[in-house]
Amino acid sequence: MNAPEIGSNKTVIGVGPNATMKGKGLRLNAVSNVVIRNLTISDINRGVIFAGHAVAIARADLVWIDHNRFHSVRRQMIAGGFGPTTNITISWNDFDGSDTYSSYCNGEHYCNLLFLGVPQTITIANNYFHEISGRAPHIDGAQAIIHLATNYFHNTNAQQSGGFFHAVDAGPSVQALIEGNYLDDIETPIKTGSGHIFGFLGKTSGTVQSICFSVLGRRCIENIAIPVPRINGFRPDETVIQSFGALPRSSIPLPFSADDVPAVITARAGPGHLENR
């Protein structure tokens, strides 16, 4: 049985906090205006074969993936590509990578979010990434504009497992605004060689903030990493802010303080919290 295909102008919403799809994911192909909320999607080819996405998106516009939990998925938890992938919002999800059958035999899932579409406009905000070793997210392809905001990256057993290898892995053409995230014991927040990145750890200069005010009409929010990583990849690439200047300001959410991220995200991400946004 193939993964169910969701058509345009459809909402898939779980009833109650324990609504679950096991063994199959969802496919969105050549669609617009789709909402997926309040589901646990799990146990896709677990321990069987390296295949099967939880949500596969191709040639899609206006997709909202919100308050779901992803667990025990053999390939990507969310995969996007093969044509335009635009106006995609991924919010308040619990990406639980704990898995006996992991790529690096460390109990942590590696293939999490992969986006290869052309063009791409994607917001990844207020999500909980844990027990994960990479691709959070991996983004490539020309004309990719990504906003990564107020996400919580955390591994419970980082010392035993070898740690979270990397979070963001961006191709050379990607424009990524990264702000308000909390990175807890993350070895490499941004993989070396990633594309155009605008983001910073801790406070930044007035000059950098003036760029944010001039284009976004607001300050950019600092990220927190504890401990400070040896290689972090954060930098204030002004071309990123200019690319966001072409978007409506109303489409760019204002992150809250990174100091509040761990408590807020662990309390409100995942199924059963639709009232908390």
The yes-or-no verdict on residue 209 having pLDDT over 90 is yes
More confident residue, 131 or 184: 184
* pLDDT at residue 131 in the model: 82
Whether residue 3 is contained in a domain is answered as no
The yes-or-no verdict on residue 229 having pLDDT over 60 is yes
For 222, the domain range is 10-268
Backbone angles phi, psi at 41, to 5 degrees: -115, 120
Six token digits for residue 272 = 């059963």
| pLDDT band, residue 1 (cuts 50/70/90) | low
Which residues are annotated as catalytic?
135
Whether residue 151 is contained in a domain is answered as yes
Diameter of the chain measured on Cα atoms: 56
Whether residue 276 is contained in a domain is answered as no
Alpha helices per DSSP H over the chain: 158-161, 206-216, 238-244, 261-268
- The CATH number assigned to the domain holding 257 equals 2.160.20.10
Whether residue 56 is contained in a domain is answered as yes
Three-state DSSP class for residue 42: strand
Whether residue 45 is contained in a domain is answered as yes
Mean of per-residue pLDDT scores for the chain: 89
Three-state DSSP class for residue 120: strand
Within 8 A by CB and 6+ apart from 85, the residues are 57, 58, 59, 60, 115, 117, 119, 120, 122
The yes-or-no verdict on residue 239 having pLDDT over 80 is yes
The yes-or-no verdict on residue 161 having pLDDT over 50 is no
- First-to-last alpha carbon distance for the chain, in angstroms, is 35
The yes-or-no verdict on residue 270 having pLDDT over 90 is yes
* pLDDT at residue 160 in the model: 47
The yes-or-no verdict on residue 108 having pLDDT over 80 is no
The yes-or-no verdict on residue 167 having pLDDT over 50 is yes
* pLDDT at residue 45 in the model: 67
Domain count, the chain: 1
More confident residue, 221 or 141: 221
**From CA 240, how far away is CA 219, in angstroms rounded?**
14
118, 148 contact by CB (below 8 A):
no
Whether residue 5 is contained in a domain is answered as no
Whether residue 1 is contained in a domain is answered as no
**From CA 65, how far away is CA 127, in angstroms rounded?**
11
Closest CA to 129 of 202, 208, 204, 183: 183
The yes-or-no verdict on residue 190 having pLDDT over 90 is yes
| pLDDT band, residue 46 (cuts 50/70/90) | low
Per-residue CA distances from 266 to 46, 81, 95, 182 (Å): 25, 29, 11, 12
Whether residue 2 is contained in a domain is answered as no
CA angle 54, 71, 127 (to 5 degrees): 85
Range scoring the smallest mean pLDDT among 63-67, 149-153, 154-158, 216-220: 154-158
* pLDDT at residue 156 in the model: 66
